[in-house]
Structure 1
């Protein structure tokens, strides 16, 4: 089975990591996967041996998700858009996929309509069109007017054969973030469970408190607030670890290291991060998809500070669900201070242990669902 997977990370790397995990599972099952990657290369990425074709890269800024930019921050123009569209269409023709897998569209990635709509038209025009699927995380950002809902539903009806939802409806059904999801035919929807990595076999206790910010494209302010919050917590005399992330600048990491007091370490990346988290007493982090799965798998008590810039609502809802389930204490990003964070850490330390029975084998299930759907055509 030949599969073309269109992947685009704009700011953080959560989408990218999930796409890597899905691709590795597909390759391991014997399928031929080509990844069309539209973002900057991510340090440590692992596609499992799939062919990766890099499109001209683009990104956005935290406060402006609408404007596509070159990696140097300058806005892209129509010439760039046309060039990238033609490169993607040529790749589609070269691969001739049995399955075309998109990341989020049309629920997200509206900035990429200039290339994705022509791609979908090209797919539909084939003598034997590929199965077209879209890959969604558990929660999407869609605080849009009714007109936009209708636009998305129309595109799903016209072009999408399968909506893969990488979550568990027992925690959050798609309707919580996309109110008209019930109008998508049941035959077009499939919950895969969360796309989680294999849990760590042995905890690595090197820190009592672990502070992390995902890929590090945002979150520098949280790390600084956490650094200064230590004296306000019951863990003031315990070792802390701050993890900056693969996308954080060297200068930002160096500044944190220079300011860190004795007993507090600062690292860019830990290959054994989840084992370190499993050995910790408490986690301080944002509430991205992969971070939330790390917390679920390791069982660590947590304080969640959801990212909320640029109209983002995804992390706030996820943090709310974790708090309602007794798995975290949440604090708003706005107005966060060291003493407020310290008080939240102390409250989280008293949370009773809670285990959520959720499906965490989303990569395997995605492969099974796609394989069965393609075979049934």
Structure 2
């Protein structure tokens, strides 16, 4: 088949280390690419996650690694053991061989080089191989709208250098009317010619679920959501018993914590609290709810905005994390959410916030661009023309 007429092949690399937000956003984009007619290989390197990636995607897994701690300071294998040089070399070689075998038209690295510096051992070699390949694939960075604040000097300069030397596009998955790259990346002006805003990568507007709850609590992947889930259970015990709660605790919540939640729910009125691990129809459940309580991760916020329900945000802030707090502050300023700091979170404080939120009117439809998955798919599909065939 003539290369100019065949569907483009996109190799999409994503590494989740602690939560599942990166994987969820990449999965939405990859699914939109398949719907657009592209051939997609989604390469992941984290622990398995229930429901991700969805069916219908070609999915290749690298030997999994996870964060060795909340501060993303090191890498561990699936059993939590620190990885050694031989492990990392095997991963690198597997990724490079996959690239050579698949011969993609477009390569996408999720977060890198703005984040995921721990993966330089395999991504820097990948960038060099891409540069030496003819025809050269188009190289793109897939980036959320708000970045983690930098604390080490020189990091932003390194990022700019990699972008200018290797990358053709930086796809910022946000609406500039809400947050611009320069708000969280001080040297954005130096790469402005490569930046394209795609809109927020939200799910399609859902039909409300037949399962109707007053309050839906979601703890993301669950790895860092235990305090929120336990506080929500304590708040349910304080609030009127006729309110129906659904606590979605995530696949990575510790088994012991989940057992405590199940035991406490069983002691309450029938139907008052439902405990779930994962809901594939999460957006639809939110659309039928009166109130969402969650951390302030990118994907959950997109779900909340699309559903149009009231929202309480408890941003994850451990280990110096700033991104979720910045997002929650912006949404509170727009009147779209109530911010409740993670510090000193308790059932009493959460119950009081719930009572205030439920008494407020439901938000009016948002004007933010929530069509980022389809727009990103269109951009990537049409980038083949940029290939260097020299």
User: How does the TM-score come out when normalised to structure 1?
Assistant: 0.95
How far the C-alpha of 1:44 sits from its partner, in A, is: 1.7
Tell me if the contact between 2:38 and 2:381 (Cα under 8 Å) persists in the aligned partners. no
Q: 2:375 aligns with which of 349, 365, 371?
A: 365
- Comparing 110-119 with 308-317, greater Cα deviation is found at 308-317
**C-alpha displacement of 1:231:** 4.7
Match of 2:5 in 1: none
Q: How does 1:276-295 map to 2 (within 5 A)?
A: 276-295=285-304
Deviations 1:312-366 (A, max 9, x none): 1111011101100101111111111221112222222233423320111111111
Q: For residue 175 of structure 2, what is the aligned residue in structure 1?
A: 168
Counterpart of 2:231? 225
Matched, 1:129 2:149: no
Match of 1:206 in 2: 212
Structure 1 gap ranges (5+)? none
SS in 1 for 2:177: coil
1:245 has 2:255 as partner: no
Is the partner of 1:165 in helix, strand or coil?
A: strand
Alpha-carbon separation, structure 2, partners of 1:203 and 1:259? 25
Query: Secondary structure of the equivalent of 1:365?
Result: helix
- Match for residue 166 of structure 2? 159
Contact 1:243 1:269 in 2 (8 A): yes
Provide the rounded CA distance (Å) in 1 between the counterparts of 2:364 and 2:222. 28
SS in 1 for 2:292: strand
Structure 1 contact 326–354 (Cα < 8 Å) conserved:
no
Give the match for residue 337 of structure 2: 328
Question: 1: CA distance between counterparts of 2:102 and 2:125?
Answer: 16
C-alpha distance in structure 2 between counterparts of 1:144 and 1:129, whole Å: 35
Considering Cα pairs closer than 8 Å and 6+ residues apart, tell me whether 1 or 2 has the greater RCO. 2
CA distance in 2, matches of 1:143, 1:354: 35
The partner residue of 1:312 within 317, 321, 334 is: 321
1:296 alignment partner, one of 289, 301, 305:
305
Would the aligned equivalents of 2:172 and 2:197 in 1 still touch at CA under 8 Å?
yes
DSSP-derived class of the 2:42 partner = strand
Aligned partner of 1:254 in structure 2 is: 259
Give how far 1:241 is off. Answer: 1.4
- Judged with a 3 Å threshold, the aligned counterparts in structure 2 of structure 1 residues 116 and 201 are, in CA distance, closer, same or farther, namely same
| Correspondence 1:1-377 to 2 at 5 A | 1-186=8-193, 188-204=194-210, 206-233=212-239, 235-260=240-265, 261-262=268-269, 263-352=272-361, 353-377=363-387
SS at match of 1:320: helix
- 1:279 is displaced (CA, Å) by 1.8
Q: By how many angstroms is 1:12 displaced? A: 0.9
Moved over 3 A (4+): none
Distance 1:160 1:39 in 2: 24
Change (3 A) 1:158 1:182: same
Distance of 1:238 and 1:61 partners within structure 2: 39
Give CA deviations for 1:116-154 in whole Å, capped at 9, x if unaligned.
Answer: 000000000112211000100111213234411111111
- Kept in 2, the 8 Å contact 1:232–1:343? The answer is no
Q: Distance in 1 between matches of 2:258 and 2:52?
A: 21
- Asked if structure 1 preserves the Cα contact closer than 8 Å seen for 2:227 and 2:345, the reply is no
| Cα distance in 1, alignment partners of residues 258 and 123 from structure 2 | 37
Question: Do 2:46 and 2:64's aligned partners in 1 also have CA atoms closer than 8 Å?
Answer: yes
User: Retained in 1: the 8 A contact 2:316–2:342?
Assistant: yes
Q: What SS does the corresponding residue of 1:66 show, helix, strand or coil?
A: coil
Structure 2 CA distance for partners of 1:372 and 1:270, relative to 1, 3 Å: closer
Q: 1:321 to 1:16 in 2, by over 3 A?
A: same
| Alpha-carbon distance, 1:70 to partner | 0.7
Q: What's the offset of the Cα at 1:160?
A: 0.9
SS of aligned partner of 2:73: strand
RMSD between superposed Cα atoms in Å: 1.7
The Cα of 1:16 is off from its aligned counterpart by: 0.6
